[in-house]
């Protein structure tokens, strides 16, 4: 089974660091899901990757 995590914003939220808190949260969620359920594949969709 595949799970998609969508980042909803390209906004840079500085200060404070990190610049993109949503990206940090999404990657943490991905890691947590993959560790708990090894049969799942998780992909993060970042709007900065698309024009």
Q: Can you tell me the distance from the alpha carbon of 50 to that of 45, in angstroms, rounded to the nearest whole number?
A: 9
User: What is the pLDDT at residue 14?
Assistant: 65
Q: How far is Cα 19 from Cα 15, in angstroms, rounded to an integer? A: 7
- Which tokens is 18 given? 């990190």
Where are the domains positioned within the chain?
A: 1-11+27-51
State the number of CA atoms in the 13 A half-sphere of 31 facing the CB: 6
pLDDT of residue 51: 82
pLDDT of residue 16: 63
Q: Which residue positions in the chain have pLDDT lower than 70?
A: 13-18
Tally Cβ neighbours within 10 Å of residue 40.
12
**In sequence order, which residues have a C-beta less than 8 Å from that of residue 18 and are 6 or more positions away?**
24
């Amino acid at each position: 089974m595949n799970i998609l995590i969508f980042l909803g914003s390209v906004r840079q939220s500085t200060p404070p660091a990190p610049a993109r808190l949503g990206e940090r949260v999404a990657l943490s969620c991905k890691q947590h899901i993959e560790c708990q359920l090894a049969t799942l594949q998780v992909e993060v969709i970042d709007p900065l990757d698309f024009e």
